[in-house]
Amino acid sequence: MNARTRFLLAVVILGLLVTGPFLVTATLVWLDMKPAERDLLVQLIVPRLPLGAFLTAVGFFAGLIVVRRLFQQYVQGLLRMAEHLRMMLSANRNLRVQPEGPPEVRLLAEAANNLAEQRDARAEQVEAQIAEAKGRLEEERNRLAALMSELAQAVVVCNREGRVLLYNNRARVQLRALSSAPIGLGRSIYALLDRSQIDHALESAAERRKANKVAMASFVTATSAGHLLRVQLVPVLAGQPPEVSGYVLSIENITRNMEQEAVRDQIIHDLTEGSRGSLAVIRAAVTNLADYPDMEALERERFVAIANGEAAKMGHKLEATLERFAGSLKSRWPLEDALGVDIVAAAARRVEDKVGLPTRLEQVDDTIWIRVDSYALIFAIAFVAERLKEHYNIRDLRLRLGAEGRYACLDLVWMGSNVSPETFYAWELEAMQAGGDSTPMTLRDVIERHGGEFWCQREKAAFEACFRLMLPMATPDMASDLPEMAGEGRPEYYDFDLFAQAGGGIDLDRPLAELTYSVFDTETTGLEPSNGDEIIQIGAVRIVNGRLLRQETYDQLIDPQRAIRPESVAIHGIDDAMLQGQPVARVALPAFHSFCAETVLVGHNAAFDMRFLQLKEADIGVAFTMPVLDTLLLSAVLHPAQESHRLEAIAERLGVGIEVRHRALEDAMATGEIFLKLLPLLAENGVVTLRQALEASRQTYLARVKY
């Protein structure tokens, strides 16, 4: 019953209550009267009836107006206010109740407004706090991510199930050497490292933790290419009581260390066992000479010759060993590979700043790499520069860097006389000081640590002298040629939200937003797979936890072993020449298959691409059986009225930019962005899980189109 009906009912009841007693009384009086009295009453009343009726009607209408007014002001006014308040609660927080109507209602409106203001102030405060905390968290994460990506160590963080939550560029490079399986967020680390080794390391770490030692463990594993990796595992503990929620792996390539160890072992072996035999010969011969002075001259000569010959042999052997292993004898010190020009430039800056001696570079070979302790070396150069300035009053210094055999020559050249040998030896053995800094190291220490040599020589030019520092050259290692990360801004190598995500397989009833996708596209020799057309390019990119991971991509040209149709070349611009030397499908497609293992495939007009892939399955030995979503169909599900569901048209509708069309990877990226924009729209239409999305796609009429 609405308010108006209730009001009308109230008016009727009121009317009845007011007139009822009067009518009852009148009826009773009428029934009690004698006929003569009744006639008299009729005569008295009837002529005056219009006046009475008129006054009654006036009274009734006046009452009606008053009641109606009260109704409007109190009942309807309050109803309006209630609606307003409801809007304030949900839709529009800034809406306020208009204070109108009678004073009581106005008071109520004001009180409600005050309450709303109080609420808004609180909410704003809370929002500001949340925003601030979020900002701080984001900053922390970015800092961590930036730190990770710059780290020289390879680091991978996994959750309890072995899913990768974070990895850095270095890890990508190191693990690529380990296996052809790709590393990626949300992927299983067990595809790369042996699960039993990791489980064992986790157990060992747990044992250590129980014994109140640092919880960590390490193991060594070999790559298919024969490299040795040392993997160190530290568990990540969370909760109360602490439980292992994941672990951090740091991976180090120890192949080189092992080789150096082996070289050292060889040296030690050569110098001990190798020498023992010779020493035994010499000793036996010499003892005979000493013990039996009575021996014949011929015998004596023979033993002397043996001793001499063996001593010479031993000398040669030592020489040869030193020659062969000169580099490795010193390399136990933690030296790093550095570009020579960087060290020289840093040394020049240091000499100018700390020693106050003008210094410039001349003839610096910028291709030279050296193995250095850069701090010690630069300190040593500054020390020599300061000594030269103090004792020989030199005005300026020039630095040169060149190569000589396996060594780099760093020359310090100055105008003036040579340093005398006595001075030189004194400098060599004193604790170094330069520009107010000091160190217990001597120049000799630094030189020996580097396995180098250092001396003073005259220059060819008159009045010039030079210190020459010879240092072993280095072969630059992986550090220098790490591929640059694609894209700018925040690195996408981590996703801590995966800590909470369990299990690997694809659950059809999981929400779309939580699944991992491989968005892909292919370019082909032509449009007829059943007529011999082949894939020539596949590009794919991953979506994990609702983020398009632009760095986790697959981009591969494929040799189709047939000619490309000219009309196709016009579309994608890939010609036969570009495909020479590229892998064939039997090699490339299994790699693509492992790239998208355990994910949902997403493509635009995916049926076309899938047809090509499925025709190859028998040949390549793997089947693409993962669920497939098609952005074309999903777009048709959402906007059945739209005429075009071409990639460009959808991109334009959703505000997604495509850089280059018809390159597999670029198209895949655009498709991925479109897919991410479609997800919330699908959710609004009740398509939330993968099962629902597949079903909706199936029902869309376009799904029936066969290629």
Partner 1 sequence: MAHRILIADDEPNIVVSLEFVLGREGFVVAAARDGDEALRQVAAFKPDVLLLDIMMPKKSGYEVCEALRADPALAGLVVVMLTAKGRDAEVARGLAIGADAYITKPFSNKELVARIKSLLEQRS
Q: Which residues bind partner 1 (CB under 8 A)?
A: 272-274, 276-277, 279-285, 287-288, 291-292, 295, 299, 302-303, 306, 309-310
Instruction: Rank residues 295 and 569 by Cβ distance to partner 1 and give the closer one.
Output: 295
> 158 has which bridge partners?
164, 247
Contact 397, 500 (CB under 8 A): no
Cα 425–chain centre separation: 54
Task: Report helix, strand or coil for 160.
Answer: coil
Contact 668, 541 (CB under 8 A): yes
Shortest spacing between CB 261 and partner 1, in angstroms: 17
How long is the chain?
707
Shortest spacing between CB 329 and partner 1, in angstroms: 22
Query: Across 575-685, where does the E strand assignment appear?
Result: 600-603, 628-630
Amino acid identity of residue 261, one-letter, is E
Instruction: Rank residues 232 and 266 by Cβ distance to partner 1 and give the closer one.
Output: 266
Contact 700, 637 (CB under 8 A): yes
- List, in order, residues 6 or more apart from 68 with CB less than 8 Å away: 7
Shortest spacing between CB 299 and partner 1, in angstroms: 7
Cα 304–chain centre separation: 74
Instruction: Rank residues 286 and 688 by Cβ distance to partner 1 and give the closer one.
Output: 286
Residue 578 neighbours by CB distance under 10 Å = 15
Instruction: Rank residues 285 and 394 by Cβ distance to partner 1 and give the closer one.
Output: 285
Instruction: Rank residues 295 and 329 by Cβ distance to partner 1 and give the closer one.
Output: 295
Shortest spacing between CB 326 and partner 1, in angstroms: 24
| Closest residue by Cα to residue 110 from 471, 118, 419 | 118
SS3 content of the chain, % helix, strand, coil (to 5): 55, 20, 25
Instruction: Rank residues 296 and 509 by Cβ distance to partner 1 and give the closer one.
Output: 296
Instruction: Rank residues 303 and 554 by Cβ distance to partner 1 and give the closer one.
Output: 303
Contact 382, 418 (CB under 8 A): no
Shortest spacing between CB 340 and partner 1, in angstroms: 42
Shortest spacing between CB 357 and partner 1, in angstroms: 55
Instruction: Rank residues 52 and 277 by Cβ distance to partner 1 and give the closer one.
Output: 277
Instruction: Rank residues 287 and 614 by Cβ distance to partner 1 and give the closer one.
Output: 287
Shortest spacing between CB 427 and partner 1, in angstroms: 42
CA pair distance 635, 630, nearest whole angstrom:
9
Shortest spacing between CB 265 and partner 1, in angstroms: 12
Instruction: Rank residues 105 and 307 by Cβ distance to partner 1 and give the closer one.
Output: 307
Which pair of structure tokens corresponds to residue 488?
């700018």
Shortest spacing between CB 310 and partner 1, in angstroms: 6
Instruction: Rank residues 54 and 292 by Cβ distance to partner 1 and give the closer one.
Output: 292
Bond before 241 cis per omega within 30 degrees: yes
Which pair of structure tokens corresponds to residue 648?
């460009």
Instruction: Rank residues 300 and 550 by Cβ distance to partner 1 and give the closer one.
Output: 300
Shortest spacing between CB 323 and partner 1, in angstroms: 22
Task: Report helix, strand or coil for 130.
Answer: helix
Shortest spacing between CB 260 and partner 1, in angstroms: 21
Task: Report helix, strand or coil for 372.
Answer: strand
> 154 has which bridge partners?
251
CA pair distance 342, 345, nearest whole angstrom:
5
Torsion sign over Cα 683, 685, 691, 697: negative
Residue for token digits 């290419």? 225
Ordered DSSP codes for 462-490: TTEEEEEEEEEB----GGGGPPPPSSSSS
Instruction: Rank residues 276 and 332 by Cβ distance to partner 1 and give the closer one.
Output: 276
Contact 81, 97 (CB under 8 A): yes
Shortest spacing between CB 282 and partner 1, in angstroms: 7
- List, in order, residues 6 or more apart from 498 with CB less than 8 Å away: 159, 163, 164, 165, 185, 186, 544, 545
Phi, psi torsion values for 434, nearest 5 degrees: -155, 130
Shortest spacing between CB 320 and partner 1, in angstroms: 18
